Amino acid sequence: ARVDVLLSWLELPDAERPRFFTLYFDLVDTAGHRYGPDSLETNAAIAETDAAIGRLVAGLNAHGYGGRVNFVIAADHGMAPQAADAIIELDPRITPQQADVIWDGPFAGIQPLTGQEAAVEQALLGRSEHGQCWRKTELPARFDYSTHRRIPGIICLADLGWRYRSTQLPQYSTPAQGNHGWDPEAPEMAAVFIASGPAFRQGATLPTFENVSVYPLLARLVGITPEANQGNIADVEPALVQ
pLDDT digits (tens), the chain, 242 positions: 999 999 999 999 999 999 899 999 999 999 999 999 999 999 999 999 999 999 999 999 999 999 999 999 999 999 999 999 999 999 999 999 999 999 999 999 999 999 999 999 999 999 999 999 999 999 999 999 999 999 999 999 999 999 999 999 998 777 789 999 999 999 999 999 999 999 999 999 999 999 999 999 999 999 999 999 999 999 999 999 97
pLDDT value at residue 80: 98
Instruction: Please give the C-alpha separations between residue 185 and each of 6, 74, 84, 170, in angstroms, as whole numbers.
Output: 35, 17, 23, 29
pLDDT value at residue 19: 86
Cα gap 160→230, rounded to integer Å: 26
The model carries a pTM of 0.89
pLDDT value at residue 242: 79
Angle at which helix 27-35 crosses helix 40-62, to 10 degrees, equals 180
